[in-house]
Structure 1
């Protein structure tokens, strides 16, 4: 984490402390720990709380509390120099107890901290800092590069698991984690919205969807390859619809940013787009995505969501129409949409919103027939 990013975190936290009339905030959930430090507190990927808590107090500034097992590693590999590291013997107490002994009485935490108020931390993570934009663009490009390279190397007869392993390994070599990998052959994509990879053999088409992250910044993208001309025609029809819904969602996001709109406003535009395209019930089959950032989805667009559309922020909408899905990660900067998970090496077409003349290039089904 560079100085500009850390200063942004400090400014936002100090304003939060003043607003909440508190003296300290503590984060042990991975998404918030990464936001405040730029590093990771994860050892066990199944745990909701990591092995350290990072905080900021009025008296001491940035502090990290962890066991003697982790202290030196975190200091050397995960934390900015501005953090004071406080360690306790692993066998003497829990992380909760150690933080409770250190922290001022008036505190907020994202984990079970005795005497502290609870916070999800999302109001601090959003919107992004200006200094987060370039690293977001870089990781988005790398995720798109990986998914497209792997997709172009798939051959009928490969298994879904083999494709998933290739995606995971390629990302890992770039320092990218991939918490969500979906790989589906044609008939599974038709019946499953979440096509968890199996040993099924890929035949006439394949769809790959990933959510990946590096240094906490999450990127979602989907690509589809057709190996037979007959399936290509049907896929294109449905994929064209999904692309239009996605562009409509991005258009509505742009408009909502101008007009202090909410996620519900975006959802209304999405559902109207489905109706315009003659697929009025399709939105019920799968969530439509929403804001992303330091979580795979900061929020999802729903009919009643009052989440504010914020800028700068990343958004990843993922409409589906039968077996077709269109998804990328876009950055909203002021009221301008920039698709970030793109390489220029995959076929695209200009797609127009259902509610205005707004249009952007979207990724087509790759013809490998």
Structure 2
């Protein structure tokens, strides 16, 4: 968080935390972006193009006073692409949308899936375990590189291979930049309470991402919409794939 939200924690390698007013603005942005993403994806169908979905998301973000900083959409044929810029391809049976939106300087990040479930769900459940390990490891006082090491080992433990964490950046602290910094083995920043994170575990055809704030007593998720269907992942309610035409609350 390189602008007004970056406050030094006092120790070498300290990281930035959000002031109460910043956190309130951040919560409002997370709620609105999650809701408009739900609106767009709930209305989409497999014959729409990636660009059409991205355009709908962009229009809704601008109408909400937010700037689109990331808009990625992958239809069925391109869900294995790590950073899929939208094309004229149709969505098909399963599609992914990745949204990064900035307002008042703050950036929220989320990823959602629409269409068919990914096969038998075994690999998706395994990636949810990686995400759960990432969130559990993100505790005040820990060094960012050590958390990344835990994430790397989690990929291997859950069957993705020892080098799976190298195939896509894993995310890291966020706030006034999309990632500030991206987590790397050299990242010496120390996590502090009140700091924002967006981890994004990835495997071909799968990706999970939301924006959270780390508190002394746990993780607060910012990019949530109670209408979006969820599954339990180690006691935390996490978004699942939204079926085409699925009725929402």
Please give the TM-score of this superposition, normalised by the length of structure 1.
Answer: 0.61
Question: How has the CA–CA distance of structure 1 residues 275 and 132 changed in structure 2, closer, same or farther, with 3 Å as cutoff?
Answer: same
1:30-72: CA deviations, max 9, x gaps?
x63xx38xxxxxxxxxxxxxxxxxxxxxxxxxxxxxxxxxxxx
1:241 deviates by 2.2
Is 1:238 the counterpart of 2:123? The answer is yes
Is 1:144 the counterpart of 2:34? The answer is yes
* 2:243 equivalent in structure 1: 367
From the CA coordinates, give the structure whose radius of gyration is larger. 1
Q: How many residues align?
A: 238
- Root-mean-square deviation (Å): 1.9
* 2:50 equivalent in structure 1: 160
Aligned-partner SS, 2:46: coil
Decide whether the 8 Å contact of 1:235 with 1:324 is kept in 2. no
Please give the TM-score of this superposition, normalised by the length of structure 2.
Answer: 0.89
1:131-162: CA deviations, max 9, x gaps?
21111111000110111111111111111110
Q: Distance in 2 between matches of 1:143 and 1:343?
A: 9
Is 1:273 the counterpart of 2:163? The answer is no
Q: Distance in 2 between matches of 1:161 and 1:367?
A: 20
| Unpaired runs of at least 5, structure 1 | 1-30, 37-120, 353-358
By relative contact order (CA 8 Å, sep 6+), the higher-ranking structure is: 2
Q: Distance in 2 between matches of 1:326 and 1:141?
A: 17
2:132 to 235, 243, 247: 247
Is 1:329 the counterpart of 2:211? The answer is yes
* 1:179 equivalent in structure 2: 69
Q: Distance in 2 between matches of 1:162 and 1:239?
A: 27
| Unpaired runs of at least 5, structure 2 | 10-14
1:122 deviates by 7.9
Is 1:220 the counterpart of 2:102? The answer is no
1:214 deviates by 0.6
